[in-house]
Structure 1
Amino acid sequence: MKSSRIVHPCSGAAMAAVRMRLDRIIRVSVLALAIAFPLLTCNAVPARATDASEPDSSGVAAELEQEQQASQLELRSVAEQAALAARALSALEADIAALRADQQELDRKIAETAARRAELDQRIAAGEQTMTGLSERQEAVRLSLVARRSVLAEVLAALQRIGRDPPPALLVNPEDALSSVRSAILLGAVVPEIRAETQALAADLKELTALRQAIASERVSLAAALAENSEEEERLARLASEKAALHEQSRRRLERERQRAEALSVRSSELEAVIATLAGEIVSLREAAEAARKAEEERQRQLAERLERARAFAAVAVPDKNRIMPAYAFSKLTRSLPLPVEGETVRHFGTDDGTGHMLAGQVLATDKGATVVAPADGWIAYAGPFRSYGQMVIIDTGENHHLVLAGMETIKVAAGSFVVAGEPLAAMGQTRFAGSAALSLASERPTLYIEIRKNGQPVDPRSWWKDDMSSRKASNDT
């Protein structure tokens, strides 16, 4: 047969976008099928079943563990802050105790100062009494001097006269002698008294001077004591005020630290309760996850037994045409599936698609209006148009395998339904679609694009097609 030259009109980026779009369609279709299939099959056992409770439980348990770890970290931080607050409280209490001791010492000094002030007051009172007595004595001396002023004046006048006109010693007149005798008699009588008065006067004057000096000294001493006592009182008052301010400040700080410590204690209790609750929830979730895992294992075991019995039955019997699950595991059907349509392969898997990229599937050139059938049992994950590639059908064949068929004109199946091998799916058109399989052929014959995916990755489909000379017994019977 004469080969035709194949040219790819699309860019590599467009081809990659098409593949990404196809991957999204497959994932969304599989999810929709997983949701709708239990409603379609009712009590039937699906070929592939997944239990979402265990992953969900595991996810919730992981989130709770993370929350528990965060709470434990916060609890440790709160405990450290509480320890710091406790140390701060101890230091403040020690400071307050020292301030109280200082306050007591100040109180003692203030009491001593008050005692000294009382003593000074007594001394001042005694000094005032002494000064009063001295003043009275001074006044009495002054009055005594005033009272004897006339006598003293006469004595002093007589002394002055004698001093100015002394009596004759040898020769005297009779009159002068008589005067001298009289003067001598008078002086004899007065001089002793004058001497006594003079001595008393001198003593009084001396005592008056001493009293005045004592009064002045006492006044100076009392003034100095009063000044010293006032300074001591002022200093103690300042110290007492400062100590009172420090005591009040320390008291407020102590109150704040106590409130902070109480708040930290409350927060610590709350965190401990949260951690305990989370621990209980984690244990419950783990127990539930373990129970779900065991239930899933048991269900999978029962499912495996039923599938094994089904496989054993299928090996010796014709599959039921009314089955609602694959009769065979898709991975066991290698080299046994017929092509979905009669035609000529114009592109193989892995060959150059014309843009330097590897072709992810296989392209068949078919006859006009040819019928496309299902190569194997499966669920229709998607059925509908896909860009410029015509109609597309995605079959979920089980075991994470998907069969993609594109380039058809009409579709005869709906998404969510179950098809058996050989069941008609669609019909080819009269000409090739412009974007079918993203290829450009010299011929206008209809082309069918075939792609088999395992776990979302394209694989070579040739390993599933049976040879022309092989028996058709291995294919799924319709």
Structure 2
Amino acid sequence: MFAARPIPRSSRTVRSGRPCRASLIALLMVLHGLPATAQTGLRPSIAGTTSPTPATPEQLKQREQELEAARAAQKAAAEAQERLKADIATLGEDRGKLNQQLIDVAAQVRSVEVRVGEAETRLRGLDGREQDLRSSLESRRAEVVEVLAALQRAGRRTPPALLVRPEDALQSLRTAMLLGSVIPEMRGRAEKLSTDLGELVAIRKTIATERDKLATDRDKLRSDQTRLAALVEERQRKQASAEKDMEAESARAVVLAQQIDSLQGLITTMELDLKSAAKAASTASLQGVPINSRPDANALRNPGRKAPAIAFASTKGMLAFPVNGTKIREFGASDGAGGADKGISLAVRAGAQVTTPCDGWVVYAGPFRSYGQLLILNAGGGYHVLIAGMERISVNIGQFVQTGEPVATMGTTSQVASILATNVSQPVLYVEFRKDGTPIDPGPWWAANEGEKVRG
């Protein structure tokens, strides 16, 4: 920034069609980063030259009010937490209602995640445009001063007496000719500066509006995530009471996983050697839903179901991605190590909510090799769905989960080393479908658009 030059006063105004002096002064002030009202007598303060003054009674009163407001907010938050606990406890008494709440709140979280992501993308574009305009205007500081000074000089000059001497008349003529060529150019430059500043002001207003909306959505996201965490905790508490040996089973699963090298070996071992997983696999075989030529998505509205509402083979073109994200690796693409990808990879937001794309039974939930946290669902009919790369899984082996139910959350960095996403700074989720132990292309199962996605 540079210091504003003193501006001589003048009672004359600029002719009609030219930018007015006051407007240009305001323009100059904005360019300097100063308030538009600060047009004269600028006195920058010098840091460290004033000694701290004791707080006034008004300041003390304001601090007391802020403290009281903080205490009230803390009390309100505690009361809200207690109401939430009571609400969740009531829901926990009805498994169907609890499941429906889980699915509904998880959907709300993912919806707000989308809005937050879109708002952040718009803000990046707006911030970039603002920076470009500021840089452009900054590079034309000298031009602003030149235009302003020229207009002020033109406004102060009085016309010479044309009949005093011939030399005066000639000088007057030459001046008129010069102004006739310079003023249009000056006007054009001033108008360009004014247009750029007008756009800058409009962009700043838009940015402020977008930031307000973003703050509101983030507040809602935090609120929804708090409720979702409480619902998940209640769901797992009830699951734990039903499966007394759940912790021992989970620990044994991790030990077995450390002794296995391949995904198919992990699936086979879990479904044969682990009681909870074996029970889930057996149930998947016994309760498999027959393939329907025209599956009814309304069958997914029953939150109390304990088996898939629609056969996995019949859900082609109906499934949603487990998480909001951008596909960065396709099925069959080179994996960078001489092989081909057996699934797809999605770049996602840090802390994103992961939901199940389909109904199924959990046959493995825990760390595995270079996949980070791995979740394997037996969807029935010989199909398995593998989801990897999460930071935390919130379901247990043997548990039946419904379409759209929250099952995990993402971390802040990629945890799937095997996809070699060296150029991706954000977390990555890996998804793989298998039929009778063989990886298959999941492409036909994904919905073409949001309106066609299966939601519980």
Instruction: Name the TM-score, length of structure 2 as normaliser.
Output: 0.40
Higher RCO (CA 8 Å, separation ≥ 6 residues): 1
Instruction: Name the TM-score, length of structure 1 as normaliser.
Output: 0.38
